[in-house]
Chains A and B, each alone.
Chain A
């Protein structure tokens, strides 16, 4: 019973099993820089090292030209005007600038904001800060499948609502919110619409006009670009105003001061262009891999539960709970695969994922969840090896699990009064 099961893999798959270099299935956490992107970045670290703000010599002009080309590339990727793109250090800063900047500017009009309970921490923590400053936030519940209920959204809008912020594609469960309907509703009520499109860009078509976004946060490193660079889209017509959060030199039309990191910006521009170009072919291939992974797991492992809507979802994400095994131990068992768990057991709080909790999942299932993020470089062999490993390790951990034994004996775990600790 204690012997780990032998994983049935062919020789080619066995070559993939290497704990020092596990199979990477965490593409929602970050992505490697595409070699085509890196190639365009490198000259701006050495030969073309100028400061884009230097107006008096060719070093500066070269940098400025590169920055403006990238600005156009990012604008094109979301159907915006390049003058609407503000460079930031990443999407977290972009979201801080959008929410704090607009809330501060429009605070005379109202002090109420709306967001979802399943937002990224960049939004939730910024909202907490705004609450400390005297703003009032409504955190909307989502439905069991992770999608927001539009009627509940409409009902939350008040005369003093100034901003609503919605995560386009959820980073944990990959569900796509009904952005067009939300945008239309918000525009009708003259509420500014901030969109966190970090996980959407490159995965689905993103169009600021179609969804009537007023502000949009974007990130470089989720789209095979470098870390440390992001952008905020700020609409010009009708004009949206944000108060700067970083001062010193008045770069980026005064909205965000600081010397522009030319190589990072060039990387984000190139990555955005590439993301749009390869979106369709990437998505098609990734969908096949996702379907293969899901089918393989479901065929070989009982008592699995998919978290989040499967229809309104990017194919790049699969989030599954494996009942009766605990997520952290599963991740420890899966050292040959780089994935993330909905169980934050490593933190002192021992809290399961707040996103899965917001879907109404029990703590047990939230603790037992694994997020698989499939990306540009994932292969069929890697997916097959993953299926074999998951099946073997879940079996092993269930052999160790008293809950699994009780389940096999037909005992309803909910009928037991567990001791709290």
Chain B
């Protein structure tokens, strides 16, 4: 189990851990993965009036690579527009963290989490009725 230094750094000093109010209309929440598969990522973004992601928080249940992938994307999405954030690809995450092939799925999840969070935010802005808790809606919508 040889992890790259970058994975270890993010794992030991995770950036932007935490939670935002998921009912805030300026917050988008994406939760992807499943406990049975060994990883669940929750990414939250706070979007300002100009459509720029001004803050991001995450919590992740999963292996070191999953934690590192989500920690990394919180850094990457900050300051980006939603459209820019949508262009982040799992291959970029895997490359940055030097993930081995068996851990590529962690980067896929992180990409999915960004998309799910943005979709949740856009649904809220579009006035879509959120009946189910945000977590449930986004977990289902993610795949």
Q: Is B truly associated with A?
A: yes
Question: Is A419's CB under 8 angstroms from B105's CB?
Answer: no
With beta carbons under 8 angstroms apart, the residue of A329, A401, A413 that contacts B59 is A401
> B64's contact among A2, A328, A352, A421, by CB below 8 Å, is which?
A328
For chain B, residues 16 to 43, give those with C-beta under 8 angstroms from any C-beta of chain A. Answer: 17-19, 31-42
Q: Quick check: which of A80-88, A201-209, A360-368 contacts chain B, the rest being far away?
A: A360-368
Task: Tell me whether B11 and A364 are in contact (CB under 8 A).
Answer: no
> In the complex the two chains form, is A346's CB within 8 Å of B102's CB?
yes
Interface size of A in residues (CB-CB distance below 8 Å): 36
Q: Is B63 an interface residue (CB 8 A)?
A: yes
Residues of A within 8 A of B38 (CB): 326, 328, 343, 345, 350, 352, 363, 367
At the interface, yes or no: B48 with Cβ under 8 Å from chain A?
Answer: no
Residues of chain B within 8 A of A56, CB atoms compared: none
Write out the residue numbers on chain A whose beta carbons fall within 8 Å of the beta carbon of B59: 400-402, 405
Q: State whether B34 touches A420 (Cβ < 8 A).
A: yes
The verdict on A348 contacting chain B, using a C-beta distance below 8 Å, is: yes
- B: contact size bracket: 35 or more
| A325 adjacent to chain B (CB < 8 Å) | yes
For residue A125, give the distance in angstroms from its CB to the closest CB of chain B. Answer: 21
Contact yes or no, A417 B140, CB < 8 A:
yes
B135 and A406 form a contact (CB under 8 A): yes
Evaluate contact between A418 and B63: CB separation under 8 angstroms. no
Known A1-B18, A413-B35; contact A332-B63, beta-carbon cutoff 8 A: yes
Complex Cα–Cα for A88 and B36 (A): 40
B3 on interface, CB distance cutoff 8 Å = yes
Q: Is the interface of A mostly helix, strand, loop or mixed?
A: loop
* CB neighbours of A347 from chain B (8 A): 102
Q: Is the CB of B11 within 8 A of A329?
A: yes
B117 on the interface (CB 8 Å rule)? Answer: no
A403 interface residue (CB < 8 Å to B)? yes
Contact A363 B19 (CB under 8 A): no
Question: Assuming A332-B11, A403-B40, A417-B139, is B35 touching A363 (CB within 8 A)?
Answer: yes
Contacts of A401 in B (CB 8 A): 59-61
Tell me the bound Cα distance from A352 to B34 in angstroms: 13
Q: Chain A residue with minimal CB distance to B1?
A: A346
Q: Give Cα A401–Cα B18 distance, bound, in whole angstroms.
A: 10
Known pairs A328-B63, A347-B102, A400-B59; A363 contacts B139 (CB<8 A): no
Q: Check: B130 CB closer than 8 A to any chain A CB.
A: no
Instruction: Give the Cβ gap from A319 to chain B, nearest Cβ, in Å.
Output: 18
Report if B67 contacts A (CB, 8 A): yes
CA distance A421 to B42 in the complex (A): 15
Max count, chain A CB within 10 A of own CB: residue among B17, B35, B67, B136: B35
Residue of B nearest to A399 (CB): B17
Q: Is the CB of B42 within 8 A of A326?
A: no
Which of chain A's residues have a CB closer than 8 A to the CB of B11? 329, 332
Check if A402 sits within 8 Å of B102, measured CB to CB: no
Contact A324 B61 (CB under 8 A): yes
Per-position contact with B for A220-236: 1 when CB-CB < 8 Å, else 0? 00000000000000000
Asked if B3 contacts A332 (CB within 8 A), the reply is yes
Interface residue from B15, B19, B34 paired with A421 (Cβ < 8 Å): B34
B62 at the interface (CB under 8 A from A): yes
Closest to B63 in A: A328
CA distance A350 to B62 in the complex (A): 11
In the bound complex, how far is the Cα of B62 from the Cα of A324, in angstroms?
A: 9
Establish whether residues A418 and B19, one from each chain, have CB atoms under 8 Å apart when the complex forms: no
> With a CB–CB cut-off of 8 A, which chain A residues contact B102?
346-348
**Nearest residue, chain A, Cβ from B34:** A418
Residues of B within 8 A of A4 (CB): 12
A416 contacts the other chain (CB 8 A): yes
In the complex, what residue of chain A is closest to B31 when comparing beta carbons? A402
Listed in ascending order, the chain A residues whose CB lies under 8 Å from chain B are: 1-2, 4, 324-326, 328-329, 332, 343, 345-348, 350, 352, 362-364, 367, 399-406, 411, 413, 416-421
Sorted from nearest, which 9 A-B pairs have the closest CB atoms? A418-B34, A363-B36, A402-B59, A402-B42, A328-B63, A364-B35, A419-B143, A401-B61, A332-B64
Q: List 6 A-B contacts (CB under 8 A).
A: A1-B17, A2-B14, A348-B101, A352-B38, A363-B36, A421-B37
18 additional contacts, CB 8 Å, given A2-B13, A350-B105, A421-B112? A326-B66, A329-B62, A329-B64, A329-B67, A332-B64, A346-B1, A350-B38, A363-B37, A367-B35, A400-B14, A400-B17, A401-B60, A401-B61, A403-B35, A403-B61, A419-B142, A421-B105, A421-B143
